[in-house]
Structure 1
Amino acid sequence: MGKVKKVTSNHLFLPLFALALLLVFNAFATPGFFAIEFQNGQFYGRIIDILNRASILVILSMGMTFVIATGGIDISQGSVIAISGAICCSLIGGAGDGTANMPLLPACLIAVLVCALCGVWNGFLVSKLKIQPMVATLILLTAGRGIAMLITKGQNVTVYYEPFTYIGTTIPGSPLPTTIFIAALMVLFVVLIQKKTSVGLFVQAVGINANAARRTGLKVSSIIFMVYVFSGICAGIAGLMESSMIAAADPNNAGLNMEMDAILSVALGGTLLSGGKFYIGGSIIGAITIQTMTTTLYALGVSSEQLPVYKALVVILICLLQSEKFKGVLEKRTAEKAVKQR
């Protein structure tokens, strides 16, 4: 009994269990779900598609993890994705002959820099003006798509410059989508920052008790400011990947509701929404699990309009599992059953 409790109390148990449950379900309910083909030097299959789409969510969830760990929230990520795609595609532009108005790298860097400035705006409102994170990021959530529409002049901007599509698809000669490698590099960067610096401890300290952290000499406002900037950068990179997948900027639909998936991934990964101790590994597995669930529901014929209902059920379940009162009731019931069996 003690070993079972030790396993189930691990922060990785819930996301891994949910992922395993989905995979087992698909093994029986979705024919060919695990089938992977190798054609023309590339891998194809639903699993590859899941990893491809989950890569965007992994990057978003890493930025969201740090924000939530400080006791905040960033509901503007989806709109910042739209801004990123709008800027990059507008700068590259080009005609139908496959040329570009601006080289790819500068266009991408400018787009990410502007998204970092979006993070600066959110961080300033939260850390300096002490506005509630939900309200502060709601401003950009509301205005962000309007900004993207202004950049693209209300039109979807199509990019015919082929190297741009490599970001969200596959570089010639590579067997896997580029997005997987970008996500892996971002994960490596975050892990190195955690292992080689004290940033993770500082963020955790702010989330557990900001006043106590301030008294120990930590610049709490600077740490909070920094995590929102990082969240903006993550959304900017995700925006490049998403717009590259369709070779166009779509201000209306790019990143729509993806901030909610990122929050769900972080919560599923074991990080409490109230802040404090966080788990990057859990958020990554949570992101893959959420994308697997989305793919599974689409495979079962669930429409995109109905999808939020199922995700809401997952949110309710996570909230219950994170509730100390609910845990206490379960433990009490389990103890009573054990006594009756004796």
Structure 2
Amino acid sequence: MNRLTAVLRAPWFWAIAGIIVLLAINTIKDPGYLSIGLNPTTGMMTGNLLDILRVSAPIILIALGMTFVIATEGIDLSVGSMMAVGGAVAMQTLSTTDDPGSVGAMLQAIGLAVLLALVLGLVNGFLVSVVGLQPFITTLVMMMAARGIARVVTGGQNTNAQNEPFRQLANGQILGVPTGFVIALGIVVLVALLMRRTALGLMIEAIGVNPHASRLAGIRPKPTLITVYALAAVLASLAGVLNVAEVMTVNPSSTGNLMEMDAILAVVIGGTSLAGGKFSIIGSTMGALLIATLNKTVVFLGVPSAATPAFKAIVIIGLVLLQSDRIRTLVFRRKGALGAPLVPRRAKTEHASKEASA
């Protein structure tokens, strides 16, 4: 009883339920939707599930960074543009290096992309924590500035390059699992260990719950906020690297466009409150997988592009409502799923009155 209640209240439960429902709908349309096969030409595994895992990697990374920003009662609208910056720097580096096909060139491209994003993230954190600007305004300005930087880096043109090790980051496989998803999952594990094995996670939650009280408790909000925004920018840059590695080209105007919306939705679906406080890394990861599954479902079902936003909104609103304690109470109040069959309120009141009279 208590165990079932805990599962239903877990932030990741309804995200997983949503993924299962979407996969079931796709399977009804195509019974072979979940099948996985081997491509004899490339020697790699193929299937819709693997496609979902591959495209979910960038969403997982930006949602992970957004989780900690939102946990501090902030918001980061610049992560989509940070993806463009990361992709632009990586592609420009590979296209101009003397040895474009080497592993060294790949590492150099990724390092420069992360370094520039780190600087921009530190600027975000400084403006929010030290200057005292609102996170919404700060990151909105950075969203435009970072997009402009991406255009400057590439000269405003689509930039492509050839580097097989870099391409394999998104298109390769490790034991049949997309490499990009394995990388994203590894980063999730490392960040989770950082948050839960050190005091950083506790400080983030304390700042989100009550900044003033956390300051009185000896927590310094400014360094923590700077760290959070820098981490979000770095993770968004890595997401941009994985995004452009799939096609080996970057469009500074469209790469990462509106991805901040998917990141916010993934975090909210995962159970992290926009009011700040406690966060759920597993929940955000499951939320990102749900967004990726939903995007794939929209294409698979042939939903018209004009109706796609409405279709996604309906699904997401339904999941958010299921996460509400009030909605769950209404759904399960007369069912014994969360315990013994419940007695109507009036009957409970009458029974209590009789006991009091006795």
Change (3 A) 1:38 1:331: closer
Deviation at 1:216, TM superposition (A): 0.3
Q: Could you tell me which amino acid in structure 1 is paired with residue 25 of structure 2? A: F
Q: Could you tell me which amino acid in structure 2 is paired with residue 243 of structure 1? A: V
- Please name the residue that 1:132 is paired with: 134
Q: Could you tell me which amino acid in structure 2 is paired with residue 93 of structure 1? A: S
- Please name the residue that 2:339 is paired with: none
Q: Could you tell me which amino acid in structure 1 is paired with residue 92 of structure 2? A: S
Change (3 A) 1:306 1:126: farther
Deviation at 1:137, TM superposition (A): 0.5
Change (3 A) 1:273 1:258: same
Deviation at 1:303, TM superposition (A): 4.2
Q: Report the more deviating stretch, 277-286 or 181-190.
A: 181-190
- Is the counterpart of residue 23 in structure 1 residue 23 in structure 2? yes
Q: Report the more deviating stretch, 17-26 or 246-255.
A: 17-26
Q: Report the more deviating stretch, 68-77 or 30-39.
A: 30-39
CA contact (8 A) 2:79 2:260 kept: yes
- Please name the residue that 2:354 is paired with: none
Determine the C-alpha separation between the residues in 2 that align with 1:248 and 1:332: 50
Deviation at 1:108, TM superposition (A): 1.1
- Render the CA deviation track for 1:236-276: whole Å, top value 9, x for unaligned: 10111111111011112111111111111111111111110
CA contact (8 A) 1:41 1:174 kept: no
Unaligned runs of 5+ in 2: 336-341, 348-358
Determine the C-alpha separation between the residues in 1 that align with 2:86 and 2:6: 43
- Please name the residue that 1:214 is paired with: 215
Mapping of residues 286-301 of structure 1, within 5 Å: 286-301=287-302
Change (3 A) 1:245 1:217: same
When normalised by structure 2's length, the TM-score is 0.86
Identity of aligned residues (%): 36
- Please name the residue that 2:160 is paired with: 158
CA contact (8 A) 2:73 2:277 kept: yes
Change (3 A) 1:115 1:338: same
Change (3 A) 1:329 1:28: closer
Structure number with bigger Rg: 2
- Please name the residue that 1:191 is paired with: 192
- Please name the residue that 2:13 is paired with: 13
Determine the C-alpha separation between the residues in 1 that align with 2:318 and 2:306: 21
- Render the CA deviation track for 1:39-97: whole Å, top value 9, x for unaligned: 243111110000001111111111011111111111111111011111111111159x9
Determine the C-alpha separation between the residues in 2 that align with 1:237 and 1:206: 26
- Please name the residue that 1:169 is paired with: 171
Mapping of residues 68-79 of structure 1, within 5 Å: 68-79=70-81
Q: Could you tell me which amino acid in structure 2 is paired with residue 13 of structure 1? A: F
Determine the C-alpha separation between the residues in 2 that align with 1:24 and 1:256: 29
Determine the C-alpha separation between the residues in 1 that align with 2:63 and 2:101: 34
RMSD: 2.8
Determine the C-alpha separation between the residues in 1 that align with 2:137 and 2:146: 14
- Please name the residue that 2:89 is paired with: 87
Determine the C-alpha separation between the residues in 2 that align with 1:3 and 1:162: 48
